[in-house]
Amino acid sequence: MTAPRKIVLHEVGLRDGLQMEPEVVPTAQKIAWAEALLATGVDVVQLGSFVHPGKVPQMADTERLFAHFTAPERRPKGVVLSGLVLNEKGLERGLAAGVDLFCMGVSASETHSRKNTGMSIADASRRIVAMAKTALSSGKGVQLSVQSAFGCGYEGPVPRERVLAIARGFVEAGFDRLSLADTAGHAVPGEVAARFGELARLAPRAELSCHFHDTYGLALANCYAALDAGVTSFEASVAGLGGCPFTAVAGGNTCTEDLVHAWRRTGLRPDVDLDALIALARRIAAHFVRQMPGKVYRNGPIRQPEAALCPGAAG
CATH code of the domain occupying 8-303: 3.20.20.70
pLDDT of amino acid 311: 45
The catalytic residue among 103, 152, 223, 244 is 244
Give the residue extent of every domain in the chain.
8-303
**Burial of 266 by CB count in 10 Å (0-12 exposed, 13-18 middle, 19+ buried)?**
middle
Tell me the mean pLDDT per 10 residues along the chain, length 315. Answer: 72 94 95 98 98 93 98 95 97 98 95 82 94 98 97 90 97 97 95 97 97 95 97 97 57 92 94 98 96 94 66 43
pLDDT of amino acid 119: 86
Instruction: Find, among 2, 40, 31, the residue nearest to 259 by Cα.
Output: 40
pLDDT of amino acid 243: 59
Q: What is the rounded distance in angstroms from the CA atom of residue 185 to the CA atom of residue 218?
A: 8
Q: Are 240 and 285 in contact (CB under 8 A)?
A: no
Q: What is the rounded distance in angstroms from the CA atom of residue 90 to the CA atom of residue 63?
A: 11
Q: Are 110 and 186 in contact (CB under 8 A)?
A: no
pLDDT of amino acid 247: 47
To the query of whether residue 255 is one of the catalytic residues in this protein, the response is no
Instruction: Find, among 11, 9, 17, the residue nearest to 287 by Cα.
Output: 17
pTM over 0.85: yes
